[in-house]
Structure 1
Amino acid sequence: MSKAGTKRPLETIQNPDTSPIHDRERGPKVSKTVTACTECQRRKIKCDLTTRGEICGRCEKKGLECVVNKSLQELLKDEAQWKRDIENNASTTRDAVTEILRVLNLPPLETFANGQERGNSLASPSNQRPALNVRFASEAESPANSIPGRRVPAAMAMTRENSQEPEQENGSSTIVTDPMGSLYEVTKLRNLRSNPQSKPRQRLTSSDEDFISTGKVSVEDAEQLFDHFSKYLNAYLWGGIALVHSDLMAVRRSSSLLLAAILTVSALHVPGMEDVFDICYAELVGLICDSMLDRYHTLDGIRGLTIGAFWLSDLSWKLSGHAVRIATELNLHQSFSRAMKGSADHFEGARLWFLLYVCDHHFSIAYGRPPVIHENSTILNHITFLQLPGVTQADQRLHSQVAIFIILTEIYNTFGPDIEEQLTEEDFVRVRNFNDRLDQYQANWQERLSPNQYVGAYPSKGVRLHCGYAKLQLNSLAVRGCKLGYEEFSTARRDLAGIAISSAVTILRLTLEEPDITHALVGVPLYLHTMITYATVFLLKVYQRWGAQLGIDLALIRDLVSKIIDLLQGARASQRHLAYHIASGLRKMLHRFSAADGPSSGAVSTQNATSTNYDPVLATEVADFGPVDSYGSIVGYDEFFPFGFFDVLSATIPE
């Protein structure tokens, strides 16, 4: 039986361009074109639509809707064109995504599809586990502060670079490289490099996806908090080092971590912002957790971690260390040498490295732990950085901090961390030499720092305050490891202990009598509160143990401590602020101290209690009070304020 249409025309065979294959590539062949509207077709009359255009004559005369139904062939043709458009768009999108992944040094597009297939193949009802619900302490206080699900890597990314990176400044042409750099050069595995590029790339953060756009914090509150930080808090953080953006939107576009840190710290200092603080704190903790496993970081992310470390007491130690590790991944420790060679691109990196040095030493001193950043040539030659163009008063203030922490670190390394080891007479010579260096430090830096429009003369007065705290830490080593009771001190030991007591009194008096320092209680980083608390506790402890030998005026101590408590309690800040907790702890300590001292306090001379020229070393009229061994368990100082290396009396506290 013959089949119609089985024979192919000769011209089709001779001319391949007319073959059915090419027909399919060009789209469906239209065998019949519809030229009449539906009304004319129904009545089987001639339609003049093709000559008139949009409407035929009959439909126009009768007022009918002139509609032309497309034939099947036309529908197929339109569908084929639509598919071609979709394919072109998909191809363009794929090319764009591939380029984006290449620029951001992310895995190739194919790896995402493979990962999804693996995830789907492994996701069965038998092996699926519910996600763990992690809640933070601050979140428990406010049920609304729920942290959205965080991105967790499902598996270790053993992916290779899809293209050769441009040679870095010290790239393959450098023979001596770090071992991990050699390993990367051989394997090209992405996860061996945290920052593949010579210049850290700023990844854009969409402001449409942060916790302000989602309504957790209103735009009005965010603007108020940012304004408070940029004008006041930033000025206490040496004014301009930690914040380089002029408005809130710029921060939102740059780094969610920096945004959360700024709003959290600001809410901590503004009265009535406790709820906003809890929301921002929960968001900040979540972003910090994300950053722990992130391989791509920015300078603003480091700034956010540093801001959190300076003000958030429960996170300070962890954030300072985390920020330093990220900074070394971005090679900020090399920025100073490159900036000194004329590279303007590394100026901000060098600035940030010195800021991290100060942050690291703030809390290594406070916690009595070894610092992470050591005093290499970059730190020891920090003063040469101030010769570069573009240096401001903010850099002068920051480097005044670097200078004093170099001295304090040398003190730590000279006398060691053993709080039970007494200093010898030979050690006292070294202590006096360090005292001379601290005096020279104050003379050099106090005149170099100018007043600030937001914090007044605090920069120069802060130098005196920091010098007093350093002297307290240094000279208190004279009583380190000394036994309780009436052990006779040598003249040299007594003199150094007297300097420590004078320094503690100076710290408290400066805080009470200097308006710029008094106003700074709500605003300065944690280090000032550490100074005040340590000076107060030191005076109470020393009087408790060696008041008779050192000639301490008990009435003066009580007066200063009471005024400090009232000052801290009257601070205007959020109820989460540390000042209120310090005031509460000191009040309990003073109450227990007074109860333990009893009537013996009346025998202490109070003539100098209100004298502004009082020198504790010269006060000799003290009462003979009972055995001091029993006082420690009553007062219980460590219950409120644990200290580290410079708490030289902690080894002698009876349990």
Structure 2
Amino acid sequence: MSPLKRQSEDADHEDGRRPHPSRTPRIRACATCKMHKIRCEPVDNEAKCAKCLRSGTECVPYNMNQRLLDEDASWKANATAELAQLRSATHLLLRHNKLPGLEDLGDSPPHHQSGQSSIVSPANVVSENGHTTMIVPPPMDMTRDTSVDKEFVEESGLVMAPMRSLYDLTKIKNLRSSVRWNPNSKSVEEDFIAQGIVSVTEAGELFKRYMQDIRLYLWAGVLFPYDSLEAVRRHSTLLTAAVLTISALHTPGRDEALQRCYNIFVSLTYSACLARPHNLDDIRALALAAFYLSNLSWKLSGLAVRSAVEMNLHQSFQKLMRGHEEQRDNTRLWYALYVCEHQFSIAYGRPPIINEDVSIKNIERFLESPKTSPGDIRLAAQVTLFKILTEAYNAYGSDPEQPLTEPDFQQLRLFNFSIEQWRLAWQTRSVDSVPIGSYPSKGVVLYYHFARFQLNSLALRALPAPSAATSESLSYDRREAANIAISAATSTLTLIFEEPDLRKAMTAVPIFTHTMVAFSATFLLKMAKTWGGMAQAQSPEMATEPVGLGLNFNINQVLSLSRRSASFLAKVAENLNEKHLIRHIVHGINDLLKRLDITGTPSISFAHIFPTPNSSSAQPLDPVNAATTLDYGGGDNTNEYNMYDLIGSYGFGFDETFLGQVASTNLDFWQTDPF
């Protein structure tokens, strides 16, 4: 073949001596026309030639250079769109952080024909309370696996989960129930610390604070198995952000660091909501944050459980019992999730997700191993306690308008007996520790009082308003349970005041412990408002005596305990960030105390005796020595009675009952649930 012929072919079958008047950018014939040895005729405004349009075939350039040109044009189009999105996101971030715009930095954004700059908010940018969060959605991936893991090959049998069968049939990746993960060695060079959002020095200080003052109070660090910042950064950016956020929340004067760490954690959690779980450390991060971040606790605990189930952690115990020792940490994490999820399901009066499975029923077998640690003992104690409380929830439900019937009190006695046995079994097994003193054993006593308080407070659920005409409606069994609740709430507060190691621990314990204190004080104060009113109606002198109707309730003792609670928690709050929940608990208790006015000669109210932490403090007056005529708010609300507001749905409704009382305070970014 002559060179002249090749030249003609390279010019789309022209002889090469004159240009084509309407020549397109195509520099060679397509593969189809080349194969049929016919003229490749381009069509205006079409990507295909005339032959390929008629036949409906794909018009692929025969020349490799043309393919490169097409791919280059496609890449440039995508890059232009992504560059516009990045520029828009950069504008949002600069504006949020009050930094100069791109124009001031020497690079101006593209302009429209009108000469005005345009900022388009990307679809994956979410603004909440003035804070901007970048969302990276997972791809809609319906691709098939090219290979199957060894675990899938070895599994056999006819009985399997339906979705597992569907995966075996289709091999679609998104249907897999087993998730493999390998640490990313580059994560340390790419995380938010490496980017300078949180400096290395600041991150080191926060990490040190967490390790020294917080970590051991949650089952001796079961949820955080690392001893250095570098180690946790290599394994999970989400866990790193969670730990630093918790530490900043427990450190006064770290407002800016707290906000930055919190923003990073929320942004990463948003991205993880619809993504496949990456590793166990990400689940640990969700659980840790649930224990300490009050505004996210409910959503994070549920997300952690869902992710853990997707990684088959609910099967870890059976595998451990079959000799797979590497499943021990997985089993620990499953137990921790059980406690976390049940704590908040009870606190909010909602049904739990995790049921009493084989691992919960056989937790003593888990403790038989010589590798059992003191943290395992404390964790197992919590598991067995919330197992009892969950049984009570299933028995009595959460309907605030459903009172306990007389036959229910027989079952309630059995629950009380189980709680007594629980304390006897676990207080001696919870070994004290040098760094945290007697907190392990005293913590068992604290949870014992709280469990009795929560169970027996149900005796007062949905009762009619107290009055002389209905005083006989309190049967002996109901009065017995109510007195146990009053005694347990009083013991909860007294124990914290009198045990030095518990007082010390209050700056580092999860929010559920703070909730116990808040609920105990709230319960007693509202008892003073409702049942104390009947004592006043019968005789003013009864304020210094136990309330009538057979209830062992002393109004002045309640006022004194509540005042001590507010004063003690205010001191604890001084060592925590101002956004910590405990500051709002103090405000809520003080607010209730204000509503119970002490009038005498001269007239003195709780507004002066128990000021809020931000107000000037007057010399406190001992309520026991004050004139004791109680005023319940005045006006039409004097005889207001709402037992649901008193005891909540199942023991208490944390969000509906207590947080509703402090809604008027400035909760800043804790106020809105970003989920």
- Aligned residue for 1:579? 582
Indicate which of 346, 367, 378 corresponds to 2:327. Answer: 346
- Aligned residue for 2:169? 186
Indicate which of 479, 493, 497 corresponds to 1:508. Answer: 493
- Aligned residue for 2:354? 373
The Cα of 1:169 is off from its aligned counterpart by 8.1
- Aligned residue for 2:127? 135
Structure 2 residue identity aligned to 1:177: M
**Contact 2:184–2:234 (Cα < 8 Å) also in 1:** no
- Does residue 568 of the first structure (1) align with residue 553 of the second (2)? no
**Contact 2:136–2:271 (Cα < 8 Å) also in 1:** yes
Of 523-532 and 222-231, deviating more is 222-231
**Contact 2:598–2:629 (Cα < 8 Å) also in 1:** no
- Does residue 592 of the first structure (1) align with residue 595 of the second (2)? yes
**Contact 2:347–2:652 (Cα < 8 Å) also in 1:** no
Q: Distance in 1 between matches of 2:632 and 2:377?
A: 51
Q: Distance in 1 between matches of 2:128 and 2:355?
A: 33
- Does residue 645 of the first structure (1) align with residue 603 of the second (2)? no
The Cα of 1:593 is off from its aligned counterpart by 2.2
- Secondary structure of the equivalent of 1:135? strand
Indicate which of 524, 530, 536 corresponds to 1:539. Answer: 524
- Does residue 120 of the first structure (1) align with residue 69 of the second (2)? no
- Aligned residue for 1:425? 406
Q: Distance in 2 between matches of 1:483 and 1:271?
A: 46
- Aligned residue for 1:159? 143
**Contact 2:401–2:461 (Cα < 8 Å) also in 1:** yes
Q: Distance in 2 between matches of 1:437 and 1:610?
A: 37
Structure 2 residue identity aligned to 1:234: R
Structure 1 residue identity aligned to 2:478: R
Structure 1 residue identity aligned to 2:554: D
- Secondary structure of the equivalent of 1:518? helix
- Does residue 496 of the first structure (1) align with residue 481 of the second (2)? yes
Q: Distance in 1 between matches of 2:378 and 2:136?
A: 39
- Secondary structure of the equivalent of 1:167? helix
Equivalenced residue count is 513
**Contact 1:600–1:623 (Cα < 8 Å) also in 2:** no
**Contact 1:421–1:480 (Cα < 8 Å) also in 2:** yes
- Does residue 362 of the first structure (1) align with residue 343 of the second (2)? yes
Q: How far does the alpha carbon of each residue in 1:364-409 deviate from its partner, in whole angstroms, 9 at most, with x for none?
A: 0110100110112221211210012321000000000001000000
Q: How far does the alpha carbon of each residue in 1:163-206 deviate from its partner, in whole angstroms, 9 at most, with x for none?
A: 232234862x1321100000000100111125344xx5444451
The Cα of 1:234 is off from its aligned counterpart by 1.3
Name the CA shift for 1:300/1:121 in 2 (closer, same or farther; >3 Å): closer
Structure 2 residue identity aligned to 1:539: L
Q: What pairs up with 1:443-482 in 2 under 5 angstroms?
A: 443-482=424-463
Q: Distance in 2 between matches of 1:505 and 1:157?
A: 57
Name the CA shift for 1:453/1:329 in 2 (closer, same or farther; >3 Å): same
The Cα of 1:643 is off from its aligned counterpart by 4.6
Q: Distance in 2 between matches of 1:597 and 1:530?
A: 34
Q: What pairs up with 1:38-437 in 2 under 5 angstroms?
A: 120=78, 130-132=121-123, 133-137=125-129, 140=131, 147=133, 149-153=134-138, 156-168=140-152, 171=155, 173-193=156-176, 195-197=178-180, 201-204=182-185, 206-437=187-418
Q: How far does the alpha carbon of each residue in 1:57-109 deviate from its partner, in whole angstroms, 9 at most, with x for none?
A: xxxxxxxxxxxxxxxxxxxxxxxxxxxxxxxxxxxxxxxxxxxxxxxxxxxxx
**Contact 1:504–1:539 (Cα < 8 Å) also in 2:** yes
Unaligned 5+ segments in structure 2 are 4-70, 85-111, 113-118, 533-546, 607-621, 662-675
- Aligned residue for 1:517? 502
Name the CA shift for 1:635/1:584 in 2 (closer, same or farther; >3 Å): farther
Q: Distance in 2 between matches of 1:570 and 1:134?
A: 38
Q: Distance in 2 between matches of 1:587 and 1:336?
A: 47
The CA RMSD measured in Å over matched residues stands at 3.6
**Contact 2:430–2:441 (Cα < 8 Å) also in 1:** yes
**Contact 1:265–1:312 (Cα < 8 Å) also in 2:** yes
**Contact 2:596–2:631 (Cα < 8 Å) also in 1:** no
Name the CA shift for 1:596/1:637 in 2 (closer, same or farther; >3 Å): farther
Structure 2-normalised TM-score? 0.70
**Contact 1:204–1:255 (Cα < 8 Å) also in 2:** no
**Contact 1:539–1:557 (Cα < 8 Å) also in 2:** yes
Name the CA shift for 1:185/1:502 in 2 (closer, same or farther; >3 Å): same
Unaligned 5+ segments in structure 1 are 5-112, 141-145, 603-607, 612-621
Name the CA shift for 1:630/1:285 in 2 (closer, same or farther; >3 Å): same
Of 242-251 and 375-384, deviating more is 375-384
Q: Distance in 2 between matches of 1:624 and 1:573?
A: 34
- Secondary structure of the equivalent of 1:134? strand
Q: How far does the alpha carbon of each residue in 1:257-285 deviate from its partner, in whole angstroms, 9 at most, with x for none?
A: 00000000000001111110000000000
Name the CA shift for 1:638/1:195 in 2 (closer, same or farther; >3 Å): same
Q: How far does the alpha carbon of each residue in 1:315-339 deviate from its partner, in whole angstroms, 9 at most, with x for none?
A: 0000000000000010000001111
Structure 1 residue identity aligned to 2:349: G
Name the CA shift for 1:555/1:631 in 2 (closer, same or farther; >3 Å): farther
Q: Distance in 1 between matches of 2:430 and 2:640?
A: 45
Name the CA shift for 1:559/1:328 in 2 (closer, same or farther; >3 Å): same
- Aligned residue for 1:62? none
Structure 1 residue identity aligned to 2:144: R
**Contact 1:469–1:504 (Cα < 8 Å) also in 2:** yes
Name the CA shift for 1:540/1:292 in 2 (closer, same or farther; >3 Å): same
**Contact 1:477–1:648 (Cα < 8 Å) also in 2:** no
Structure 2 residue identity aligned to 1:477: L
**Contact 1:480–1:648 (Cα < 8 Å) also in 2:** no
Q: Distance in 2 between matches of 1:170 and 1:425?
A: 57
Name the CA shift for 1:226/1:643 in 2 (closer, same or farther; >3 Å): farther
Q: How far does the alpha carbon of each residue in 1:417-465 deviate from its partner, in whole angstroms, 9 at most, with x for none?
A: 2221121222111111111111111011001111122221111001011
Q: How far does the alpha carbon of each residue in 1:490-530 deviate from its partner, in whole angstroms, 9 at most, with x for none?
A: 12211110110000000010111111111111100011011
Name the CA shift for 1:205/1:300 in 2 (closer, same or farther; >3 Å): farther
Q: Distance in 2 between matches of 1:642 and 1:120?
A: 59
Structure 2 residue identity aligned to 1:555: N
Name the CA shift for 1:429/1:638 in 2 (closer, same or farther; >3 Å): closer
- Aligned residue for 1:438? 419
The Cα of 1:296 is off from its aligned counterpart by 4.2
Q: Distance in 2 between matches of 1:306 and 1:453?
A: 26
Q: Distance in 2 between matches of 1:349 and 1:457?
A: 28
- Secondary structure of the equivalent of 1:545? helix
- Does residue 528 of the first structure (1) align with residue 513 of the second (2)? yes
